Every structure is written in C-alpha cells, then in structure tokens.
Amino acid sequence: MNQDLSIFTLVLHASFVVQLVMAGLLIASLASWTVIFGKLFGLRRTRAANEEFEREFWVGKNLNELYADAAKRPDGAPMERIFASGMREFMKLRERRVTDAGALLDGARRAMRASFQRELDTIESNLSFLATVGSVSPYVGLFGTVWGIMHAFIGLSNMTQVTLATVAPGIAEALVATAIGLFAAIPAVIAYNRFARDIDRIAIQLETFIEEFSNILQRNVGVPAAAH
C-alpha cells in the first residue's frame, strides 16, 4: 500500500516530543518574521528621519531654532535627539557662567555620547533575538530529529520483519523537525547580518554628526550660541 508521506501527515503522526519541538520552532519562526518586518520598516524610518534632520541642519538654520523645534518633537530622529542633548548641555553650562572652552565642549560631547548610546540601544532592540533564533533553531530541530528517530527505532524493535517501507515514515517524521529548524534559522541569520550592517552605518552617521556638531560648538565658544 502507498503511504501518505505529506508534510501534514508526517507532523500529525510524529511523537508528542517532536510535535512540541516543531510547534516551538514555528512559534520562533513567526516571532522572528515579526521582528524582521518591524526592524525593516523601523530602520527605514530612522534613516529617512536622520537624513531629513541632517538636511535641515546643514542649510544654515539658527541653532536656537533647531533646538526649539527638537524640543517640540521628542519622537523625532535619533540625530535630532542627540543634537538636542548636546545643545541643552551646552546652553546649561553657558547659563552657569562656565567660560572654559574645554569644559563647555566636554560637557556637550558627553551629553551627546550618552544620548548616542541610548539611541543605539533602541535601534538594536530585538536584534539579539534574531541571533538567538538563527543560532539555536537548527540544534533544537536536530534534537527533535534525534528524538524522533530514536522513538521510531524503539517502535521497530517489536517488529519481526523490518523493511524500508516500515522505517521510512518514522525517519521522515523526525527529519521534518530539522527542516523546520532550518526554516526558522536561515531567514533570522540573513536578517541579522543585514540589520547589523545597516545599524553600523547609522552608528557611523551619528558619530560623524557628533564630531561635526562639536566642531561647530567649538567655533561658537565665546560668541552667541545662535550663530551657525
């Protein structure tokens, strides 16, 4: 008799442990795709917002006006929040009658570096989840396969005559777990590498802005902060 070896039938007839492994891998795959799409659109919005603020910054707009606009938009671009943190600290030190150029610049730079780290932590959120799914899923699938094959051979030990037709279904059921593990892992690994590369570019862009804005503040030490 021809046996039905469709994926659905194999999953349905697999042992409870293997089914549990498959269910866990499918949930992990679904969660990773949710993270992938969320991160894809999130990074796209972040790049667009940074580029928009950078264009606005370099057209020569008054720094005080830029700071006032940034204060009204707490959900603005990461670059805008970094600028606001540096400008806020610079102005606070000015108000305290700090005249030392090094102290002014160091204070603004420290504020921007702290803001930069917070922004980077936010941008990198859920990235570790993709790394975990990509690295662990194949081993979880392999565990399901090993357990399924072991379960299949234990069942075959009671048979007097073992043929390929009796062995194949049990092994096929077990191998489905490895296939699902790879199905969960491969997109997660590809997405992780892509996003890590994109985040590195964003980090470089933000660090470059910090240095350029620090140079502007350095030129403005001793002159009204509104000059730009």
Q: Is residue 127 domain-resident?
A: yes
Query: What 8-state DSSP symbol labels residue 225?
Result: T
* CA neighbours closer than 13 Å in the CB half-sphere of residue 15: 19
The domain of 213 spans 7-220
Q: What is the DSSP letter of 94?
A: H
Which uninterrupted H or E stretch holds 30? helix 16-58
> What does the pLDDT read at residue 170?
67
Question: 104 in a domain, yes or no?
Answer: yes
- The first and second tokens of residue 207, run together, are 């660090």
Q: How many domains does the chain have?
A: 1
Q: What is the pLDDT of residue 224?
A: 44
Residue 126 backbone class (left: φ over 0; alpha: ψ -120 to 50; beta: rest)? left
The helix/strand/coil state of 148 is helix
227 part of a folded domain: no
Kindly state whether residue 225 falls inside one of the protein's structural domains.
Answer: no
Q: Determine the straight-line distance between the first and last CA of the chain, rounded to whole angstroms.
A: 84
Q: What pLDDT does 226 receive? A: 41
d(CA 90, CA 223) in angstroms, rounded, equals 13
Supply the pTM of this predicted model. Answer: 0.81
Is residue 1 in some structural domain? no
The per-residue pLDDT string of the chain (228 residues; one tens digit each, 9 = 90 and over) reads 445 556 666 666 667 788 888 899 999 999 999 999 999 999 999 999 999 999 988 887 788 888 888 888 878 899 999 999 999 998 898 888 777 778 888 999 999 999 999 999 999 999 999 999 999 999 999 988 888 888 777 766 666 665 555 566 667 777 888 889 999 999 999 999 999 999 999 999 999 999 999 998 888 775 444 444
| Contact present, 43 and 130 (Cβ < 8 Å) | no
Long-range CB contacts for residues 162-168, cutoff 8 Å, separation at least 24: 165/3, 168/3, 168/5
pLDDT of residue 76: 84
Residue 219 and residue 228: Cα distance in Å, rounded?
9
Question: Has residue 11 been placed in a domain?
Answer: yes
pLDDT, residue 199, reads: 96
Residue 14 domain-assigned (yes or no)? yes
Interhelix angle 164-220/16-58, rounded to 10 degrees, is 20
- Predicted local confidence at residue 10, as pLDDT: 65
CA–CA distance, 216 with 212 (Å, rounded to integer): 6
Exposed, middle or buried, 132 (CB in 10 Å: 0-12/13-18/19+)? middle
CA distance 128 to 125: 7
Evaluate whether 136 touches 9 at the Cβ level (below 8 Å).
Answer: no
Question: How many CA atoms lie less than 13 Å away from 101 in the CB half-sphere?
Answer: 10
Residue 67 CA, chain-centre distance (Å), reads 29
In this prediction, residue 140 carries a pLDDT of 93
Q: Is 78 helix (H, G, I), strand (E, B) or coil?
A: helix
Question: For residue 171, is it within any domain?
Answer: yes
DSSP 74: T
Structure tokens at 185: 């892992």
pLDDT tens per residue, range 164-214: 555 666 677 778 888 899 999 999 999 999 999 999 999 999 999 999 999
